[in-house]
Amino acid sequence: MNKNAKLALYMKEHVSLYIFVAVILVTGVIFGAVMVNALTLEQKQELTRYLGNFFLTVDQNALGDAQASLQQSFAMHIKWVLIIWILGLSVIGLPLILILDFLKGVLVGFTVGYLAQQLSWKGMMFALVAVVPQNIVVIPVIVISSVTAMAFSIYLVKNRFMQRKGAISGQLVRYTATVLSLGAVLFGISLFETYVSPVMMKWVTPALVSLAS
Protein backbone atom coordinates (compact mmCIF):
# COMPACT_ATOMS: atom_id res chain seq x y z
CA MET A 1 0.00 0.00 0.00
CA ASN A 2 1.53 3.36 -1.02
CA LYS A 3 1.65 6.44 1.19
CA ASN A 4 -1.34 8.14 -0.42
CA ALA A 5 -3.47 5.04 0.11
CA LYS A 6 -2.33 4.77 3.71
CA LEU A 7 -3.15 8.43 4.32
CA ALA A 8 -6.58 8.03 2.73
CA LEU A 9 -7.28 4.98 4.88
CA TYR A 10 -6.08 6.77 8.00
CA MET A 11 -8.32 9.78 7.37
CA LYS A 12 -11.29 7.54 6.61
CA GLU A 13 -10.83 5.74 9.93
CA HIS A 14 -10.20 8.84 12.02
CA VAL A 15 -12.09 11.70 10.38
CA SER A 16 -14.91 11.46 12.95
CA LEU A 17 -12.37 11.83 15.77
CA TYR A 18 -10.79 14.87 14.10
CA ILE A 19 -14.18 16.51 13.70
CA PHE A 20 -15.13 15.75 17.30
CA VAL A 21 -11.87 17.13 18.74
CA ALA A 22 -12.09 20.21 16.50
CA VAL A 23 -15.64 20.88 17.73
CA ILE A 24 -14.47 20.58 21.35
CA LEU A 25 -11.66 23.08 20.70
CA VAL A 26 -13.91 25.55 18.91
CA THR A 27 -16.45 25.27 21.73
CA GLY A 28 -13.65 26.08 24.18
CA VAL A 29 -12.61 29.11 22.13
CA ILE A 30 -16.18 30.44 22.11
CA PHE A 31 -16.57 29.79 25.84
CA GLY A 32 -13.27 31.55 26.56
CA ALA A 33 -14.33 34.60 24.56
CA VAL A 34 -17.66 34.72 26.40
CA MET A 35 -15.86 34.45 29.76
CA VAL A 36 -14.39 37.90 29.19
CA ASN A 37 -17.84 39.38 29.82
CA ALA A 38 -17.96 37.67 33.23
CA LEU A 39 -14.91 39.54 34.54
CA THR A 40 -15.50 42.21 37.17
CA LEU A 41 -14.31 45.76 36.61
CA GLU A 42 -11.49 45.25 39.13
CA GLN A 43 -10.32 42.10 37.35
CA LYS A 44 -10.33 43.86 33.99
CA GLN A 45 -8.37 46.79 35.41
CA GLU A 46 -5.80 44.45 36.96
CA LEU A 47 -5.36 42.54 33.69
CA THR A 48 -5.04 45.79 31.78
CA ARG A 49 -2.31 47.02 34.14
CA TYR A 50 -0.48 43.71 33.78
CA LEU A 51 -0.69 43.91 29.99
CA GLY A 52 0.48 47.52 30.07
CA ASN A 53 3.61 46.52 31.99
CA PHE A 54 4.19 43.65 29.57
CA PHE A 55 3.87 45.95 26.55
CA LEU A 56 6.34 48.35 28.17
CA THR A 57 8.78 45.49 28.76
CA VAL A 58 8.54 44.43 25.11
CA ASP A 59 8.93 48.01 23.89
CA GLN A 60 12.10 48.43 25.96
CA ASN A 61 13.60 45.12 24.76
CA ALA A 62 13.63 43.82 28.35
CA LEU A 63 12.18 40.35 27.85
CA GLY A 64 15.17 38.66 29.45
CA ASP A 65 17.46 35.80 28.49
CA ALA A 66 16.52 34.15 25.18
CA GLN A 67 17.58 30.67 26.29
CA ALA A 68 15.40 30.86 29.39
CA SER A 69 12.51 32.11 27.27
CA LEU A 70 13.01 29.23 24.83
CA GLN A 71 12.98 26.66 27.62
CA GLN A 72 9.88 28.20 29.18
CA SER A 73 8.03 28.36 25.85
CA PHE A 74 8.89 24.78 24.91
CA ALA A 75 7.97 23.47 28.37
CA MET A 76 4.61 25.25 28.17
CA HIS A 77 3.78 23.67 24.81
CA ILE A 78 5.22 20.18 25.28
CA LYS A 79 3.43 19.56 28.58
CA TRP A 80 0.08 19.50 26.75
CA VAL A 81 1.27 16.84 24.31
CA LEU A 82 3.01 14.77 26.99
CA ILE A 83 -0.05 14.77 29.24
CA ILE A 84 -2.23 13.78 26.28
CA TRP A 85 0.27 11.00 25.42
CA ILE A 86 0.12 9.65 28.97
CA LEU A 87 -3.68 9.81 29.03
CA GLY A 88 -3.79 7.93 25.73
CA LEU A 89 -2.10 4.96 27.37
CA SER A 90 -5.28 4.20 29.31
CA VAL A 91 -8.97 4.01 28.50
CA ILE A 92 -9.94 6.25 31.43
CA GLY A 93 -7.85 9.04 29.94
CA LEU A 94 -10.23 9.62 27.02
CA PRO A 95 -12.53 12.15 28.75
CA LEU A 96 -9.53 13.92 30.27
CA ILE A 97 -8.04 14.41 26.80
CA LEU A 98 -11.24 16.12 25.71
CA ILE A 99 -11.16 18.32 28.82
CA LEU A 100 -7.60 19.38 28.00
CA ASP A 101 -8.65 20.23 24.45
CA PHE A 102 -11.54 22.29 25.76
CA LEU A 103 -9.25 24.14 28.20
CA LYS A 104 -6.76 24.91 25.42
CA GLY A 105 -9.59 26.42 23.41
CA VAL A 106 -10.71 28.44 26.43
CA LEU A 107 -7.22 29.89 26.90
CA VAL A 108 -6.96 30.97 23.28
CA GLY A 109 -10.51 32.32 23.16
CA PHE A 110 -10.15 34.24 26.41
CA THR A 111 -6.82 35.79 25.40
CA VAL A 112 -7.98 36.95 21.97
CA GLY A 113 -11.42 37.94 23.29
CA TYR A 114 -9.98 40.06 26.09
CA LEU A 115 -7.51 41.83 23.82
CA ALA A 116 -10.24 42.56 21.27
CA GLN A 117 -12.83 43.70 23.79
CA GLN A 118 -10.62 45.84 26.02
CA LEU A 119 -8.11 47.21 23.52
CA SER A 120 -10.23 47.33 20.36
CA TRP A 121 -8.27 47.33 17.10
CA LYS A 122 -4.96 47.71 18.95
CA GLY A 123 -5.67 44.54 20.89
CA MET A 124 -6.62 42.68 17.72
CA MET A 125 -3.42 43.87 16.08
CA PHE A 126 -1.38 42.60 19.02
CA ALA A 127 -3.24 39.27 19.00
CA LEU A 128 -2.48 38.87 15.29
CA VAL A 129 1.29 39.11 15.92
CA ALA A 130 1.58 37.58 19.40
CA VAL A 131 -1.14 34.93 19.70
CA VAL A 132 -2.37 33.84 16.28
CA PRO A 133 0.88 32.88 14.44
CA GLN A 134 2.05 30.16 16.84
CA ASN A 135 -1.44 28.86 17.51
CA ILE A 136 -1.95 28.27 13.78
CA VAL A 137 0.51 25.42 14.33
CA VAL A 138 0.00 24.61 18.02
CA ILE A 139 -3.75 23.99 17.69
CA PRO A 140 -3.35 21.42 14.87
CA VAL A 141 -0.58 19.75 16.91
CA ILE A 142 -2.95 19.45 19.86
CA VAL A 143 -5.67 18.06 17.58
CA ILE A 144 -3.35 15.48 16.01
CA SER A 145 -1.93 14.40 19.37
CA SER A 146 -5.43 14.12 20.83
CA VAL A 147 -6.77 12.05 17.94
CA THR A 148 -3.68 9.82 18.00
CA ALA A 149 -4.05 9.30 21.74
CA MET A 150 -7.76 8.55 21.46
CA ALA A 151 -7.18 6.15 18.58
CA PHE A 152 -4.51 4.31 20.54
CA SER A 153 -6.75 4.12 23.60
CA ILE A 154 -9.59 2.71 21.48
CA TYR A 155 -7.14 0.25 19.96
CA LEU A 156 -6.21 -0.93 23.47
CA VAL A 157 -9.86 -1.64 24.21
CA LYS A 158 -10.31 -3.62 20.99
CA ASN A 159 -7.02 -5.44 21.54
CA ARG A 160 -7.98 -6.45 25.05
CA PHE A 161 -11.29 -7.89 23.95
CA MET A 162 -9.73 -9.68 20.97
CA GLN A 163 -6.77 -10.87 23.09
CA ARG A 164 -4.11 -9.94 20.54
CA LYS A 165 -1.52 -8.73 23.03
CA GLY A 166 1.41 -9.19 20.73
CA ALA A 167 0.24 -6.39 18.40
CA ILE A 168 0.34 -3.64 21.03
CA SER A 169 4.10 -3.01 20.92
CA GLY A 170 4.11 -1.94 17.26
CA GLN A 171 1.17 0.41 17.79
CA LEU A 172 2.83 1.88 20.88
CA VAL A 173 6.04 2.57 18.95
CA ARG A 174 4.11 4.35 16.18
CA TYR A 175 2.06 6.26 18.74
CA THR A 176 5.17 7.41 20.59
CA ALA A 177 6.99 8.26 17.35
CA THR A 178 4.07 10.51 16.35
CA VAL A 179 4.25 12.31 19.69
CA LEU A 180 8.02 12.80 19.35
CA SER A 181 7.52 14.23 15.86
CA LEU A 182 4.93 16.66 17.20
CA GLY A 183 7.38 17.59 19.96
CA ALA A 184 9.92 18.56 17.30
CA VAL A 185 7.30 20.78 15.66
CA LEU A 186 6.58 22.42 19.01
CA PHE A 187 10.28 23.07 19.51
CA GLY A 188 10.29 24.91 16.19
CA ILE A 189 7.32 26.98 17.36
CA SER A 190 9.17 27.76 20.59
CA LEU A 191 12.12 29.05 18.54
CA PHE A 192 9.67 31.25 16.64
CA GLU A 193 8.17 32.59 19.87
CA THR A 194 11.61 33.29 21.32
CA TYR A 195 13.32 34.99 18.39
CA VAL A 196 10.60 36.16 15.97
CA SER A 197 7.53 36.97 18.07
CA PRO A 198 9.29 39.67 20.17
CA VAL A 199 10.28 41.47 16.98
CA MET A 200 6.73 41.29 15.68
CA MET A 201 5.29 42.40 19.02
CA LYS A 202 7.63 45.39 19.07
CA TRP A 203 5.96 46.63 15.88
CA VAL A 204 2.69 47.23 17.73
CA THR A 205 3.66 47.85 21.38
CA PRO A 206 4.40 51.59 20.94
CA ALA A 207 0.64 52.10 20.54
CA LEU A 208 -0.05 50.13 23.74
CA VAL A 209 2.58 51.20 26.30
CA SER A 210 0.27 53.91 27.64
CA LEU A 211 -1.63 51.15 29.47
CA ALA A 212 1.29 50.86 31.90
CA SER A 213 0.65 54.32 33.31
Return the SS3 of 125. Answer: helix
The pLDDT tens digits for 17-60 are 999 999 999 999 999 999 988 888 888 888 878 877 777 777 67
Q: How far is CA 73 from CA 25, 38, 121, in A?
A: 21, 29, 27
The pLDDT tens digits for 49-80 are 887 777 777 767 656 677 888 899 999 999 99
What confidence score (pLDDT) does residue 212 get? 47
Residue 120 backbone zone (phi > 0: left; psi -120 to 50: alpha; other: beta): left
Q: Whose CA is closest to 179, among 78, 100, 76?
A: 78
Alpha helix ranges (H) inside 36-131: 41-59, 66-87, 94-130
Would you kindly state where each structural domain of the chain is located, as residue ranges?
Answer: 3-207
What confidence score (pLDDT) does residue 154 get? 86
The pLDDT tens digits for 150-208 are 999 888 877 766 555 556 777 888 899 999 999 999 999 999 988 888 888 888 777 67
Q: What is the pTM of this model?
A: 0.86
Q: How far apart are CA 153 and CA 164, in angstroms?
A: 15
Residues 44 and 177: beta-carbon distance below 8 Å: no
